[in-house]
Amino acid sequence: MDKRLLTILRCPVTHKGLSPAKRDLLKRINDAIAGGELRNREGAVLAEPIAEALVTDDAKLLYPVADGIPVLLESESISLEQLG
Protein backbone atom coordinates (compact mmCIF):
# COMPACT_ATOMS: atom_id res chain seq x y z
CA MET A 1 0.00 0.00 0.00
CA ASP A 2 1.22 3.47 -0.87
CA LYS A 3 2.75 5.11 2.22
CA ARG A 4 1.43 8.51 1.17
CA LEU A 5 -2.09 7.13 1.08
CA LEU A 6 -1.67 5.71 4.58
CA THR A 7 -0.75 9.16 5.92
CA ILE A 8 -4.18 10.52 4.94
CA LEU A 9 -6.44 7.50 5.57
CA ARG A 10 -8.33 7.51 8.87
CA CYS A 11 -10.71 5.15 10.59
CA PRO A 12 -14.23 6.40 9.79
CA VAL A 13 -15.36 5.47 13.33
CA THR A 14 -12.56 6.70 15.60
CA HIS A 15 -10.66 8.96 13.18
CA LYS A 16 -7.42 7.28 14.29
CA GLY A 17 -4.63 6.62 11.81
CA LEU A 18 -4.34 3.29 10.00
CA SER A 19 -1.38 1.03 9.31
CA PRO A 20 -0.95 -2.34 7.59
CA ALA A 21 -1.76 -5.32 9.78
CA LYS A 22 1.28 -7.41 10.65
CA ARG A 23 1.55 -11.07 9.67
CA ASP A 24 1.04 -12.38 13.21
CA LEU A 25 -2.20 -10.41 13.60
CA LEU A 26 -3.47 -11.65 10.23
CA LYS A 27 -2.70 -15.21 11.33
CA ARG A 28 -4.70 -14.75 14.55
CA ILE A 29 -7.57 -13.22 12.58
CA ASN A 30 -7.57 -16.05 10.03
CA ASP A 31 -7.37 -18.70 12.75
CA ALA A 32 -10.47 -17.16 14.37
CA ILE A 33 -12.23 -17.03 10.99
CA ALA A 34 -11.39 -20.71 10.36
CA GLY A 35 -12.85 -21.55 13.77
CA GLY A 36 -16.07 -19.68 12.95
CA GLU A 37 -15.45 -17.33 15.86
CA LEU A 38 -15.11 -13.95 14.19
CA ARG A 39 -17.80 -11.44 13.25
CA ASN A 40 -17.64 -8.04 11.61
CA ARG A 41 -19.29 -5.07 13.32
CA GLU A 42 -22.45 -5.73 11.33
CA GLY A 43 -22.67 -9.10 13.10
CA ALA A 44 -21.97 -11.32 10.08
CA VAL A 45 -19.77 -14.36 10.73
CA LEU A 46 -16.67 -14.13 8.56
CA ALA A 47 -15.98 -17.13 6.34
CA GLU A 48 -13.17 -16.04 4.01
CA PRO A 49 -9.59 -15.52 5.16
CA ILE A 50 -8.17 -12.01 5.07
CA ALA A 51 -4.92 -11.59 3.12
CA GLU A 52 -4.40 -7.90 3.80
CA ALA A 53 -5.87 -5.42 6.26
CA LEU A 54 -5.42 -2.07 7.96
CA VAL A 55 -5.50 -1.69 11.73
CA THR A 56 -6.19 1.45 13.73
CA ASP A 57 -3.34 3.06 15.66
CA ASP A 58 -4.97 1.98 18.94
CA ALA A 59 -5.22 -1.64 17.65
CA LYS A 60 -8.96 -1.86 18.33
CA LEU A 61 -10.39 -2.08 14.79
CA LEU A 62 -9.29 -3.85 11.64
CA TYR A 63 -10.43 -3.06 8.12
CA PRO A 64 -10.03 -5.64 5.34
CA VAL A 65 -8.31 -4.73 2.09
CA ALA A 66 -10.00 -6.29 -0.95
CA ASP A 67 -8.03 -6.41 -4.20
CA GLY A 68 -5.74 -3.67 -2.94
CA ILE A 69 -8.63 -1.38 -1.94
CA PRO A 70 -9.24 -0.65 1.77
CA VAL A 71 -12.85 -1.36 2.75
CA LEU A 72 -13.37 1.52 5.18
CA LEU A 73 -16.97 0.80 6.09
CA GLU A 74 -17.92 0.58 9.77
CA SER A 75 -20.10 -2.47 9.08
CA GLU A 76 -17.15 -4.34 7.50
CA SER A 77 -14.68 -3.51 10.26
CA ILE A 78 -13.65 -6.13 12.79
CA SER A 79 -13.36 -5.41 16.48
CA LEU A 80 -10.07 -6.89 17.66
CA GLU A 81 -11.47 -7.29 21.17
CA GLN A 82 -12.96 -10.56 19.87
CA LEU A 83 -9.47 -12.07 19.82
CA GLY A 84 -9.25 -11.91 23.58
Q: Which of helix, strand or coil describes residue 61? A: strand
Residue 6, judged by CB atoms within 10 A of its CB (0-12, 13-18, 19+), counts as: middle
Helices and strands (DSSP H and E) totals, the chain: 2, 5
What pLDDT sits at residue 66?
Answer: 94
Q: What does the domain layout of the chain look like in residue ranges?
A: 3-83
Q: Which of helix, strand or coil describes residue 31? A: helix
- pLDDT, one tens digit per residue, over 24-82 is 999 999 999 999 999 999 999 999 999 999 999 999 999 999 998 999 999 999 999 99
Residue 84 pLDDT > 80, yes or no?
A: no
What pLDDT sits at residue 6?
Answer: 83
